[in-house]
Amino acid sequence: MRPSSPKERIVAEARRLGFDAVGVGRADLPLDADFDRYEAFVDDGMHGGMSWLAASREARRALDSDHILLGAKSVICVARRYGRTEDEERADPALARSIARYARGRDYHNGLRKKLRKIARLVRTLGTAEEPAQARPMCDDAPVLERAWAARAGLGFVGKNGLIIVPGVGSLVLLGEVVTTLVLEPDPPIPERCGACTRCLDVCPTKAFVKPFVLDPRLCVAYLTIEHREAIPEPLREGIGDRLFGCDDCQTVCPFNASSRQKPRAGGDARFEADPRWATTSLRDLVVLDEPAYARLREGTPVARATRIGLARNAAVVLGNRGSSDDLETLETARRGHDADIVREAAGWAVTRIEERARDAAKEG
């Protein structure tokens, strides 16, 4: 049966474009409780060095505004699964497995934005001469509380780890929105379904969850290895483990991701497969990476977000945690001659850690 209503046509187009879930919420009602939680988060300084999270505060309260789209009536929220099966991931190069799943392949933003623009174009054709429909696609490029809007639109519910969980799909998803002046029938929100489960909270390697649903990013491995521009606090380095860029632990253990991690994504998507460059790059390479090599490495990968210096710092910490004396020569080179203070310091820490472990092992032997 051909879709007839505007909403049915929009949902059908989103599905055709490869989105795994679609929901519609009212955009003409501001966020209340979610906005209050956001303000408390910023007032407590939990955003750390992510200054953009504290900017344009009032823009995050509502979509019907000059900040986003004046006259907005509806928000179309979509989710696209990026998670792959355990068998697929098992074949990833060793370095790729130290990178958060969303960042192992090509940068997703351009592809996702093109799809959202196509949805927005369709929406604009559904207005009338008297009431033309406006539409604004968004993908990480506007000050909106996208998880709150996704929950309002019934796309999924917010889990105890603070992420949107889409029933039947899980939380390993990318989110996007199209805000429009078109009036569409909203979907009902989905009640939270975590129950008594605390697996995501318990597994966090740096104990970054203040309480259920509240993450302190300043303690989170993802923040420390991606957004943080200073030295990683020493008490948190052991918790970094072998994670070079980001952390998926609170998603990996989530029961709602269990079934999707056994099921190949319909049609596949090469964009989310591990990039071949990770098979020819090592942690040692990253520790001593110069600007020309970084320029070649960064092209088209989300890992570039960490910066050359951030990746070198992270790689030094990971090598220190792994504790192999085979890495001492590279670390010593960085400790003596890297152009960034935080990398020299991290390399020195790693050298000391490896040497201490070697001495302890010798005593036990």
Q: How many Cβ atoms sit within 10 Å of the Cβ of residue 345?
A: 18
pLDDT at res. 364: 79
pLDDT at res. 53: 92
pLDDT at res. 268: 62
pLDDT at res. 266: 57
Place of tokens 């909203």: 186
Tell me the per-residue pLDDT of 272-285, one tens digit each, with 9 for 90 and over: 999 999 999 999 99
Tell me the per-residue pLDDT of 56-115, one tens digit each, with 9 for 90 and over: 999 999 999 999 999 999 999 999 999 898 889 999 999 999 999 999 999 999 999 999
Tell me the per-residue pLDDT of 208-266, one tens digit each, with 9 for 90 and over: 999 999 999 999 999 999 999 999 999 999 999 999 999 999 999 999 998 777 777 65
pLDDT at res. 261: 75
Sequence-distant (≥ 6) Cβ neighbours of residue 117 within 8 angstroms: 137
Looking at the DSSP assignment, which residues form a beta bridge with residue 287? none
Of 32, 44, 87, 140, the catalytic one is 140
Total-model pTM: 0.94
Domain boundaries, the chain: 6-180, 206-246+281-364
* C-alpha distances out from residue 195 to 154, 160, 191, 223, Å: 18, 9, 11, 27
pLDDT at res. 46: 93
pLDDT at res. 260: 76
pLDDT at res. 271: 85
pLDDT at res. 265: 66
Q: What is d(CA 309, CA 244) in angstroms, rounded to the nearest whole number?
A: 12
pLDDT at res. 289: 95
Is 224 buried (19+), middle (13-18) or exposed (0-12) by CB count in 10 A?
Answer: buried
29 φ, ψ to 5°?
-115, 125
Number of residues in the chain: 365
Q: What is d(CA 342, CA 340) in angstroms, rounded to the nearest whole number?
A: 6
Report whether pLDDT(267) > 90. no
pLDDT at res. 3: 65
Sequence-distant (≥ 6) Cβ neighbours of residue 316 within 8 angstroms: 287, 331, 334, 343, 346, 347, 349, 350
Tell me the per-residue pLDDT of 134-184, one tens digit each, with 9 for 90 and over: 999 999 999 999 999 999 999 999 999 999 999 999 999 999 999 999 999
pLDDT at res. 360: 81
Sequence-distant (≥ 6) Cβ neighbours of residue 87 within 8 angstroms: none
107 is catalytic: no
